[in-house]
Each structure stands twice: as C-alpha cells, then as structure tokens.
C-alpha cells in the first residue's frame, strides 16, 4: 500500500469529451515516485502504443499533469507537481514544475494525475470537484489574461476555494514558451506547456477536493518536523523567507557574478542593487505569499502606489525575473521590472525565456544585424529601454510583427539572423539566470539536463556555494574551475537527486539530509528506502528521460554551451570560464552512458531496470 498516492488517474480526451478513471500503474509509481518521472513513464507508454512520435502541438500529443508521492501530504513544502509533454519550444522532453495548491488539491479530489489528449472544437476548461468532472465552455474566457481568467473560473464554478491553472493569450497563440499560471504569480513556466494547452483549446483546469486525509502514522509528522527543524535556520532558508529569491541579487551580482548582464556579455552592472530584495523590502513590499504547507513563504506581494507603474497589490518578481528582465536587459528600474513581470504573467509567457529572447533581440539590433524593415516602429529596441521591453511582451503574446519571430524562442531568432552563438540556450531552452562562469559545474548541468538548460535539474550554484548532501556524496565541492573531476562526480549525484525532488513533489528550497527525506518517502511508499536507494531511483528517472529524449530526436551534438555564455568577463568572475568538453567527458564516464549514442550502456540499463524502455 502506497499511502502517498490515491492510486487513480484521469484520462481526458478533449475531442470526444470522454473522461476515464484508471488505476495508477503501481509498479511504475514505485519505480519513479510520481511527478515528472512517472509522467515520463506514461509518455513513453503512450508513444509506444501510438506507434509514432506526436508533433508537440498536434492533437495526439498528450499533456500529463502528475503529482508526486509526497504532494499534498502533511509534511513541509509538499506543494509541487509537474506538467509534462513533448515541448513545442525544444521538441524534446518538456516538464514544468508548479507550486501553489493545484497538486495537493488534485490529490484531495482523489487523483494522482491527469492525462489529456485530443483537441476540443471550441475553447473549454476542465472542472474537477472530487469525482465530479466537467468539461465546460471557455468561449467567454478566450483572449482574456490569466489574472482575470483565474478569478472568473472560480466565480463560474461557484467555489472560491478551488485552485485554478490557466493560460493567457500567449498560450492561445501558441507562443512556444507560453506558460501555465496559477494564483500568486506561480507558474509552470518552462518548455512551453501553455502552448500545449492552447493547442487543445484548453483554457484552464479548476480543481477542488475535500479529502485531505492520508493513511500515515504519527511518525510521519514527527519525522517531517525533525526534517524542517534541521533546515529552518539555514542561511538560504532565512534569506528566501525574509527577502524571497530576490534576496540573492546583491550577492549574485557583487560577489559571484551569478546574474547575467546584457545578454550574458557583461560582468558589471551599474546600479544593480536597485533590483535587490532589500530594495524591494524597503520600497514596495506588502507581504509574503506561499505554497501549500510551506513555512518558508518565498513568494512576494508588492504594491506600487504611484507613478507610471502603479499597481494594485499583486505578486512580485523572483530572482530569475529580476535577472531576465532586469540585469539581462540592462534595466535597473525595479518598478519597471515588477510591471513587466505582471504583464508577462498576465499574457502567460515564461519570464526566463521571454527576457532571454528579448536580450538576444537587443543584442542583434545593437550589432546592426536586423534589417530596418523587421524592426518594430515607435520603440528603440535597445538595452536599458523599458518601453521596448513592455511593448515586446505584448507583441510576443499576440504574435504581432517581430513578436511573431520572437515567439519562437531565442534559438530560432538567432538562427534567423545567422548568429546562433548569441542565443543563451541548450537544445532550444533558454538558460536560467545562473552563470557557469560563476559556478563552473553549471556548464555540465545545463548541457545534460533532460529539458535543455535548466536550474531544477542540478543546482550547482547552491552546492558550489557550500550546500552539502554528504549522504549522497555531494560534499564540499571545489570552487576552482580547473578542478573538473572534483566537481562533476558529485554533480552527477546531485542531478539524479533533483530528479527525486521533481518526482516526489517536494520543493527544492527544502533541503534536509537525503536520509531524512528517504525516511519520509519510505513511509509514503510503504517500502524501506535509504539515501543510497534515492540515488538509484534518481539515476533511473534521469535515464528514462534520456531514453525518451533520444526517441524524440536528442543527440549528444546538442550538448554544448553557446559562445555568448563562455566569453571571458571582467567583474567577479574575473575571466574564468568552464571547460565544457572536459566536464562532459567526465559526466559520460560517471553516468555510464555511451558517448556516441548518448544512452546508458547495457550494464547501466540493467542496473537501472530500464532495459524494457529502449
């Protein structure tokens, strides 16, 4: 008995409007622990039975929403769940992790996941109220922004406590990096899952469940408290609680050089402190927001009371957005970035990919590489210009003019103007705003992550700052970039360990020891699991996504960083650059993957119990 799961999923066909309740694949649930790992299993199974690889925006491509074995359980930071599919942005495996309450609420309604296929003839949203499932018209909602849509759906179903996710105009217009939004400015941001919803004429999903009880012994809560007590005074937890992720801005800019500037091409940003969490706290902060059962509460609530960017109380930007739409674009006006963040959230585009793509655009314009006739009128299209940023967000969301080109992502944009080297991406996914020149191990993490350059599949910036997991061999990493051996081996373990996070539904800001986490998972799964076992399961999940990616067309040729991310910079990184090739050779060695084919060697497949997935 796995008390962490409800042991049921829903299959919804939007073409036929058929809803089927199905037993969870218990064997796979044990092997992958839910979330993105289990979703990868279901996706693999789907393409095997379908006998073809579906195009990302086709009717046949399934959108899988999957909770983890810990999602919604009465522990701490158990809010997370994943939207997964073949990404329209990269064409490879896509997954986007979401917090808030939608994952827990689905569990309380009695389901572990939803697999959605087909395409509705007209716009619809799905309403799940315990076992009562309805597919309702969204004709009136189509074209509306996400903030409005979230509230209207709640009103329509007459339940203010329901949790809702939805897309904005960008998802409807199939912008390749459109996201899925929920309350509190939280998003399933990456890899274009919003466009998958748009391609199915699916505007939103509302969920409400009444059963929050799980069959767990008292020991589970005691161990949870012990795990939380062991981290609550950690420096990172205190900073995120006090200042949100924006609390990292000052140290990232001034100490590490870990906040890319002007399309990754500069090492120093004048007035960068204007973007910091401290400035936010002193000027516009009104409160904190949090996900289900999370005492850290890293979300920010802000209000700009007067001036050009005046807003009602709303959600504030995270570190990634302060970097993508701030430092990366040479903008240091905090209120402008706050405003741009709200606009992007409302239109429904991933702020990381949006800021990165606009950064490439400004760079191309600055270098004189875009013909005049392609440039939008009435804006300057240059670094530091807030009006250009705000206008481009609109153009992208509506796919108007140059926005139609930018809506395809930075890789496509840079290729169009023959400067692929300027696009900070791997396999088509724009890199998050942590710099491999500051933390060398990010290089190998970015080029090998299952969804393209990603910060949730190996956060080298945390462990190279000193966060340790001794019981899984991640301990005191050297910060010397020439020390590849000492960096890559533990990072392979970290990369696998983060698969456990993306699968079980725990937030990556909650980091007790692996042994403490293993105890919680043991109780929820009914199976004795050690820290070492977690590594094996993480290796298995990583391996499955790798095999899946190969089926979707991934090749080791994609595993490089573009030149723009490897230029030597002045400032805190002081000319350091990682050696990606050396790191990659070591990575293949420690992963036991074939360097040419990119997949696990035979003995490794056997160790991971993945032989049947080839």
Binding residues for ligand SF4, rule: CB under 6 A, are 77, 79, 99, 290-291, 294, 296-299, 507, 509
Span between the terminal Cα atoms of the chain, in Å: 29
| Residue 240 beta carbon to ligand SF4: minimum distance, rounded to whole angstroms | 6
DSSP codes, 43-95: HHHHHHHHTS---TTSTTS-EEEEEBTTTTSSSSS---EEEEEE-TTTSSEEE
Given a contact cutoff of 8 angstroms between Cβ atoms, the answer to whether 29 and 496 are in contact is no
> What's the min distance (Å) between Cβ of 11 and ligand SF4?
29
Pick between residue 10 and residue 507 the one whose CB is nearest to ligand SF4.
507
Residues paired with residue 96 on neighbouring β-strands, in sequence order: 83
Comparison of 285 and 296: residue with beta carbon closer to ligand SF4: 296
Whichever of 100 and 572 has its CB closer to ligand SF4, that residue is 100
* CB 207 to ligand SF4: min, Å: 17
Q: Which residue, 245 or 583, is less far from ligand SF4 as judged by CB? A: 245
**Token pair belonging to 62:** 């399934």
Report in angstroms how near the CB of residue 594 gets to ligand SF4 at its nearest.
Answer: 36
Instruction: Please check whether residue 361 is in contact with residue 329, taking contact to mean a CB–CB distance below 8 angstroms.
Output: no
Nearer to ligand SF4, 241 or 493 (CB): 241
- Quick one: tokens of 131? 């076992």
- Which of these, 165, 97, 123, lies nearest to 348 by C-alpha position? 165
Name 351's Cβ contacts closer than 8 Å, sequence gap at least 6: 189, 317, 320, 321, 324, 325, 341, 344, 345
Quote the least distance from Cβ 425 to ligand SF4, whole Å.
24
Is the CB of 166 or the CB of 298 nearer to ligand SF4?
A: 298
Sequence-separated contacts (24+) of 474-481 with Cβ below 8 Å: 477/441, 479/439, 479/440, 481/440, 481/576, 481/577, 481/578, 481/579
Q: Is the Cβ of residue 245 or residue 464 nearer to ligand SF4 in the bound state?
A: 245
Q: How far is the CB of 68 from ligand SF4 (least distance, A)?
A: 13
- For residue 79, the minimal CB distance to ligand SF4 (Å) is 5
Query: What gap in Å lies between CA 534 and CA 382, rounded to an integer?
Result: 47
- Closer of 108 and 509 to ligand SF4 (Cβ): 509
Q: With H, G, I as helix, E, B as strand and everything else as coil, classify residue 164.
A: strand
> In what order do the strands lie in the sheet containing 299-302?
285-289, 299-302, 314-315
Q: How far is the CB of 541 from ligand SF4 (least distance, A)?
A: 20
């Amino acid at each position: 008995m796995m008390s962490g799961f409800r042991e049921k999923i829903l299959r919804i066909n939007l073409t036929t409007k058929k809803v089927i309740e199905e037993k969870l694949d218990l064997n796979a649930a044990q092997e992958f622990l839910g979330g993105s790992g289990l979703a990868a299993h279901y996706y693999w199974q789907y393409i095997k039975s379908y006998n073809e690889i579906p195009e990302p925006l086709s009717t046949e491509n399934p959108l899988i929403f999957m909770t983890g074995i810990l999602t919604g359980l009465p522990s701490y930071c158990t809010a997370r769940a994943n939207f997964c599919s073949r990404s329209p942005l990269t064409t490879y495996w896509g997954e986007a992790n979401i917090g808030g309450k939608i994952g827990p609420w689905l569990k309380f309604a009695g389901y572990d996941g939803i697999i959605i296929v087909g395409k509705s003839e007209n716009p619809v949203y799905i309403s799940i109220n315990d076992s009562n499932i309805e597919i309702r018209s969204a004709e009136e909602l189509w074209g509306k922004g996400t903030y409005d849509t979230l509230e209207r759906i709640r009103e329509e179903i007459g339940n203010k406590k329901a949790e809702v996710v939805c897309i904005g105009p960008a998802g409807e217009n199939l912008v390749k990096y459109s996201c899925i939004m929920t309350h509190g400015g939280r998003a399933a941001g990456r890899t274009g899952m919003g466009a998958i919803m748009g391609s199915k004429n699916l505007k939103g999903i509302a969920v409400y469940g009444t059963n929050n009880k799980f069959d767990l012994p008292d020991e589970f809560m005691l161990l949870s408290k012990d795990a939380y007590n062991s981290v609550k005074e950690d420096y990172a937890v205190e900073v995120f609680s006090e200042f949100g992720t924006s609390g990292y801005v000052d140290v990232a800019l001034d100490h590490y050089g870990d906040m890319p500037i002007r399309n990754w091409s500069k090492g120093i940003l004048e007035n960068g402190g204007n973007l910091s969490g401290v400035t936010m706290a002193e000027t516009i902060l009104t409160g904190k927001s949090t996900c289900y059962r999370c005492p850290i509460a890293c979300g920010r609530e802000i209000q700009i009371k007067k001036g050009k960017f005046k807003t009602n109380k709303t959600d504030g930007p995270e570190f990634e957005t302060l970097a993508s739409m701030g430092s990366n674009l040479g903008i240091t006006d905090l209120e402008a970035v706050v405003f741009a963040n709200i606009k992007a959230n409302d239109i429904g585009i991933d702020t990381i990919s949006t800021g990165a793509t606009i950064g490439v655009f400004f760079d191309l314009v600055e270098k004189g590489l875009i013909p005049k006739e392609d440039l939008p009128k009435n804006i300057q299209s240059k670094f530091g210009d807030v009006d250009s940023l705000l206008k481009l967000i609109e153009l992208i969301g509506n796919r108007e003019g140059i926005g139609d080109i930018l809506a395809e992502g930075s890789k496509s944009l840079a290729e169009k103007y023959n400067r692929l080297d300027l696009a900070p991406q791997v396999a088509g996914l724009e890199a998050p705003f942590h710099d491999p020149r500051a933390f060398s191990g990010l290089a190998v993490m970015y080029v090998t992550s299952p969804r393209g350059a990603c910060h949730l599949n190996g956060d080298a910036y945390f462990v190279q700052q000193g966060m340790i997991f001794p019981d899984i061999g991640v301990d005191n990493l050297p910060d010397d970039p020439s020390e590849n051996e000492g960096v890559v081996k533990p990072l392979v373990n970290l990369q696998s360990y983060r698969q456990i996070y993306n699968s079980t539904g725990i937030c990556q800001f909650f980091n007790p020891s692996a042994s403490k986490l293993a105890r919680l998972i043991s109780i929820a799964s009914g199976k004795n699991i050690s820290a070492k076992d977690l590594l094996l399961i993480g290796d298995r999940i990583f391996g499955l996504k790798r095999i899946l990616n190969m089926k979707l067309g991934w090749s080791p040729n994609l595993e490089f960083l573009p030149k723009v991310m490897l230029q030597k910079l002045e400032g805190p990184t002081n000319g350091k650059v990682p050696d990606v090739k050396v790191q990659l050779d070591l990575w293949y060695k420690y992963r036991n993957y074939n360097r040419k084919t990119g997949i696990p060697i035979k003995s490794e497949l056997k160790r991971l119990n993945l032989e049947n997935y080839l």
